[in-house]
Structure formats: structure tokens, C-alpha cells
Structure 1
């Protein structure tokens, strides 16, 4: 049964750019009142300036106390919380045995533990409204790729957490969805393509997986999914098929196909790491 979103409230982390900013605009167009959280206060203010009535809080999802305070303040200002979207995330790329440990562990901290912290902070308020949580994972949770070990592990963890949380909250009237997206036209993907190892790996994946997909249809699918309180939201749509086939994809054949990308990806990463260091080589370059 579809929700009427008009007049409801939503919290979005990672709201200063990419999926978070675009989703904020789409939900505002449906009449939702928004609480936006991001670590980049200047970018967050620019997004909020285009959304009358949106309230903002600057917080890092790695900081549990700051995030708790941000969510509490947003609920106080909005009066209630119907929807929470745990979207904040970062990308790193490179062979797991070669990337700097800080880059790998930061990815897990932001992408997985940040989602957990967001959900933990929001659940008491969403519970009061018998609302909806959307945890943003990735198609990498379904089809992990070489060079994206940290990212794939973090997003697989989000999926597992979301599926368990869904069952836990179902008796309380709260629905939990997990979002799965391929490469979308966002700053994170565009910046990732400037990383030698990531770019080499992405270009080597088969079409249509290697394609960068437009953001707007993904946001439309996400907005409709929130209206339906959907268990799964995926874009492009064939990602649903990948989920159905994941048991067949987890075999020696798929490993051999993707492993062909490794020598070139390792060479590109090694060259970059020698220039800037293994941690910097695994992260998007600074503008």
C-alpha cells in the first residue's frame, strides 16, 4: 500500500551531493519536509538553499555522539520523523593487499558503521511513526569486483544489516528497504574515475555493468520505492535480476572473468601509489 508523502518528514545523510542531494529535491517536490545531514557544511547549505523549509545539521557519520545530536535536533525542529535514509558513503579503489589500511578501514567506518549509527539514531523516532528506513547499499553487494574489496564488503554488510533489521522491526510496523545501484552519474563516481586503479577496473567490466547510468531515473525509482515502503530498490532495473541470479554468479567462471582485470588494475594502482602513497591512491583525488 503506497504512502502519501506530502506532509511527512525525512532525514537524509550524505545530503550535500549525489544521490542524497538529488533525493532531497525529489522528496521535497512530493511535499516532504526534510532534515539534511552532511559533513560538508558549505555544500549542504547550498543544497538546502534550494529547498524551502529544509533544516540542516553538519555531522560526520563516523562520530556517533555528533550524529545522535544532529538527528535529535532535526526531529525537534521537524516535530517527527517518518523516513530515514542512511545514504552517506565514500568510495575507495585498489587491490586489497596494496591499498593503505587507513583508506580501507575508513570505507568500512563510513559506509557500514555510518549506516548502523544513522539507523540506531533514527529508529526510536521512526518507530513512533511506524515509518520507513532506507539503507543505501550498492550493486557491489551483489556483484563484488576486484579493486573494490573495501567498498563491496561495506555494502554487503549494509545489505545484511538491512535484511536482519527488516525482520526485527516488522512486528513494530516499521518497514526497512535496501538500495542497490550500479555506477550512477554522481560526483563520487566521477571522482572515482580519476583514480587509476578504479578507472582501469571499471573500464574492463562488461557492459552494461561498466556503464555510468543517469542519476535522475535512479532517484525516481528511489522516490517511488519510499512511497511503497519497498524492501528493495534497484537501478538500473536489471540489478533485480542479478540479485535473483547471485548464486549462479558466485562461481569459478565469474571469478576467472573478473580476475583478468587484475594485472592491469594492479599496475595502474602501483604506479599511482608510488607517486602519492597507497592511502591517497585508494581515494578520489582532491579537487
Structure 2
């Protein structure tokens, strides 16, 4: 995107997982900065509510980011209605926690499918548009991309995967003038983490993190920082900023986490057995409901 006072003005952005939480906040922030916003998600009613909050032009599409055909049809409709995207944010994600040996294979697989395969499918759908507009793709990752935690194997694997995917895509698309950024975020005040203390798995995970890493950040603050990165075509953005320092020590993190887990997990399991959380938050419940509908239809 050529430099200007506001390089986002009048251009089209696509945001996945836009029905609530960070995706909805990103859509509002992009719209406030003059973009036409295409909201993608699983819940048409909630998407429409977010669309009504946008100050500018936009539209919403109910689609599963793991559905290649559905994404292709959605992409064609977005181009016809709003024009080719200059910004695409792969934000859609789900999470679950619990011991891996007893995990539900379908739930574990779904986390990988939505977070990793869904991000890749989103990029595949719109990378041609970004090539034509010299655009920017932002992959929403996590502290979990840098340091994995016990009892969160699917989520950590998926977020490590999207980080690697984004690095690969950046290198592949650099000569085509497509920017690729990675957003490393920590605890953000969305419904995915509200009620986190109701689950022993997540309560103990968060409780054993250093104090700064336990802080929950307002979703509008995180969205604002991410859209700043979009506007400046940053290769990476860290919210909070201190997360950048974890890149310097990431090689040392696995043995530290393993040593802590070896000591703490048996004690914690004796006091309260860890149980699977299922897909977390309203977004996770919506995904499960859509899966049940697919099976019965």
C-alpha cells in the first residue's frame, strides 16, 4: 500500500472471527480508520450486530474458515461488493485445555483445524488480492507460539504452527510486495478467557505464570495496537510490549516449563483432578453447535 497520510482510507479489510471479542474490536478500529470491513464468522446474528456498530461501509459473511469452497464463494462476494482486500487479518481461533491422553480427538483436532488450517485457508483465498493491492496479511498468534504450556497441547501446537506459517508466507511473498505480520498477544479480555478460573486447568496455568504475564488487557487496547501495526505494515507486533523479550529466551523456556511441571502437576492433580474444558467461550460453543448441525443435517 503506497504511503499516504492514512493508507487505510477507502480500502477493504477482511477480518475472520469477527463475531465477537478481538475480531469485532479489530473490525471497529479498522472501520474507524476509514476502511471498508468484511466481517467473517460463524454466527450471522452476532456478525450483523457488529456490522451495525461500524461507522463506515462493510458487510458480514457467515462462513467456516476451514471450508475452502465456502471461503472461495465468500471471497468472490467480497470482491464484488467491497472491492479486492488490501488487509486480511487471520484472527479466527478456538481453544481448549486438559490432559492430552484423555482429550477428545475431535475437539483436539478442531483446535488445529480452525487456528492453523483456517489461517492458511484464509491466506490462500485472499493472497491473490493482496498481491494485486500490494497489501498486508496479519496473523494473530500468541505467547503460546513462543513458549508452550502443559495441558494446552492443541492450542500451543496450533499457535506455533501459525507463527511458522506466517514466517514462511512472508518470505514467499516478499518479492510480490505483500507484507506479512505476526501479532503476539497474551491474555485479552474476550469471552474465550472469561470464567477462566472456573476450570482448574486454566486457573493453575495462569496462576503459575509470572505476575506480568497474568495481566488481562482490554480488547480495544489490543485491537488498537494491532491496527497500528497494520497501518505501518509491521513484521511483528507484541501486546504487551514486553513479550518481545521472550524471543530472546525462548530456547531456554521448554526445560524450565518441564522442570516446573514435573514438580507441580502431581501436587495439583492430587488436590483437584484436571478435566477437559471443551471448546472455550461463546465462540467455541457456537462452533460446537454448528458441528452438531452439520452432523444432523
TM over 0.5: yes
Distance of 1:156 and 1:69 partners within structure 2: 29
The answer to whether structure 1 residue 206 and structure 2 residue 210 are counterparts is: yes
Distance of 2:260 and 2:274 partners within structure 1: 24
TM-score normalised to the size of structure 2? Answer: 0.88
The answer to whether structure 1 residue 227 and structure 2 residue 223 are counterparts is: no
Q: Partner residue of 2:280?
A: 284
1:23 to 17, 21, 26: 26
Distance of 1:104 and 1:215 partners within structure 2: 26
1:84 to 83, 88, 100: 88
Deviations 1:93-120 (CA, angstroms, capped at 9, x unpaired):
1121222111111100000000011000
The DSSP-based 3-state class of the residue aligned with 1:158 is helix
> 1:285: Cα distance to partner?
6.6
Q: Partner residue of 1:275?
A: none
Q: Partner residue of 1:7?
A: 10
Instruction: Give yes or no for contact 1:198–1:265 (8 Å, CA) kept in 2.
Output: no
2:75 to 71, 74, 80: 71
Cα RMSD of the aligned pairs, angstroms, is 2.0
> 1:210: Cα distance to partner?
2.2
> 1:54: Cα distance to partner?
1.3
Counterparts of residues 1-287 of structure 1 (less than 5 Å): 4-51=7-54, 52-250=56-254, 252-263=255-266, 266=269, 270=273, 272=275, 278=276, 281-284=277-280
The DSSP-based 3-state class of the residue aligned with 1:99 is coil
> 1:261: Cα distance to partner?
4.2
Instruction: Give yes or no for contact 1:108–1:151 (8 Å, CA) kept in 2.
Output: yes
> 1:234: Cα distance to partner?
1.2
My pick for the range that moved more, 205-214 or 109-118, is 205-214
Change (3 A) 1:217 1:153: same
Distance of 1:219 and 1:258 partners within structure 2: 33
Instruction: Give yes or no for contact 1:56–1:74 (8 Å, CA) kept in 2.
Output: no
Deviations 1:189-226 (CA, angstroms, capped at 9, x unpaired):
11544333222322222211122222222112101100
Change (3 A) 1:15 1:191: farther
TM-score normalised to the size of structure 1? Answer: 0.90
Distance of 2:108 and 2:240 partners within structure 1: 27
Distance of 2:179 and 2:268 partners within structure 1: 40
Q: How many residue pairs get matched?
A: 279
Instruction: Give yes or no for contact 2:85–2:130 (8 Å, CA) kept in 1.
Output: yes
Change (3 A) 1:210 1:261: farther
Instruction: Give yes or no for contact 2:9–2:33 (8 Å, CA) kept in 1.
Output: yes
Distance of 1:24 and 1:261 partners within structure 2: 41
What residue ranges of structure 2 are gaps of 5+ in the alignment? 286-297
My pick for the range that moved more, 10-19 or 213-222, is 213-222
The DSSP-based 3-state class of the residue aligned with 2:19 is coil
